[in-house]
Chain A
Amino acid sequence: MNGYVFDIRHFSVHDGPGIRTAVFLKGCPLRCIWCHNPESHDMLPVRINVEKGIGDKRIKLPETIGKLVSPGDVLEEVLKSRVFFEESGGGVTFTGGEPLMQPSFMIECIRLMKENDIHTTLDTSGYASPEDFGTVVKETDLVLFDLKHPDAERHLEFTGGSLETVLRNLHCDTLSEKPIIVRIPLVPGFNMSNTVYKQMAVILAKLKNLRRIDLLPYHNFSLHKYLRLGLDFKMEGIPAPDNKEVAAAADFFRNFGFIVSVGG
């Protein structure tokens, strides 16, 4: 079964152990307002014009975002970094978008990677049906799981998805047997308060295989992507959190006994 992928990026060093290759799957059921990868939202490829520099001039060249590829195609590209995986204890990370939007493709990809001795990581929002979540996670070596907000209403308002679905998957039996890193985006005006952190800590305390918490401070580097795609940038004017606020959040979680890393 083929799947839609919009990028395969080598030398990814913040999405799991070692030097990794990140496979970006296209399509996402959520619409988090701070999303860094708006080009991943729709599953089908889009053609856009991208400005390229020629000296001082800008020339528009057409570019297609997204491509239908087979698991074999993915493997071929991923294997280009095999030597780096082997030296660093790295592997492949499936991210997106939401990889679980394409569960059958994911399963085939992950199995193919395993046949080739490649460590697999799934980077997911957790927003998927329990069946899809369980079957894919079962095959994966490591799961990066997003936790965005502990309050159902706020979660729905800012991501467009139900918290309940996310939490059900977070606490499911299959996941409890896998090493997990929980990733928390730090988004000003959304989840940066001690009350929120505390509620999150309560949720996370129940996980027995939690290896680490990654705090991912919001940044506005993706503004140009919104402009290019002709999308509305809802975070306009909201600055990235300053280092002090980020450090305070990290300390908060550390005080609860969690291992915390900033930036993944």
Chain B
Amino acid sequence: MITAPALLLALMEGAVGAAVLALTALGLSLVFGVMRVINIAHGEFVMLGAIIAWWCSAELLGAHPVLGFLFALLVAPLLVGLVALAADWLVLRRINYDPERTILATMGLLYIIQQSVLLLYGPDARPVEPPFYFRVQLPWFGYSGYKLIVIALALALLGATWLVLSKSRIGLYMRATRLDAETAQAFGVPVRRIYAIVFALGAMLAAVSGVLIAPMRQAHYLMGTDPLLLSFIVVIVGGLGNLRGTLLAALLIGLGDGMISVLFSPTLAKMIATLLVALVLIVRPGGLTREGAS
């Protein structure tokens, strides 16, 4: 029997999951939308973020955990962004962003990142200390204040990304490249540089969500697969490269995944989400996409 407190708890967990998933999936969707690149290594960027969060909190042991958290929020996106820039420069650019070959290349990247972390960090899952311990009193129970801050931070970052995309010059370039890269180039948009920036931006969003989830779960070298699976589900449901669809789908899938995870089991939640997507594809061939199937 599902009781009201359990339902409220599930709803809260679902909201946290949705917020973090929105960040991760937005990164994936942005990269696909602008560059037409499916980044199989996207989940590894989340994992790298979490590992860096662990490293920061271990480095700054003894200091206030908030310091380590803030440090991680700064360092993780920077480092992961650099990794992404290097990948773009060394690999993606050289194969001219050919869709099929980039998939193979990012898959190679997945294994290189994952196994390098295994080599340097080891196979253990390590806990990361949450920066805050205060609890917010809800009816029936007190809820982790940290998780509420995660929701707020994720929303702020989503807003910031939206502002960059819609108000800044670089955002204009991104949107132009997304619509038609060749025409954009003809109008003087530095398309190659935009590609590099977008790939780094997507990776940074993933890294931040990695930092945010690290204190709630643990940092482990195989933790990239769940965010990858969920982000893929989100971009398929929301429409490949469709940012608004991505956010809406992230809310739906994240909430559902979080709630079923609490009420039943996390594994079951992911299976149900996948089957749901399979059903959607059967009922609406081509998915819910507007510009999807290439």
Does A pair with B? no
**Which A residues fall within an 8 A CB radius of B?**
none
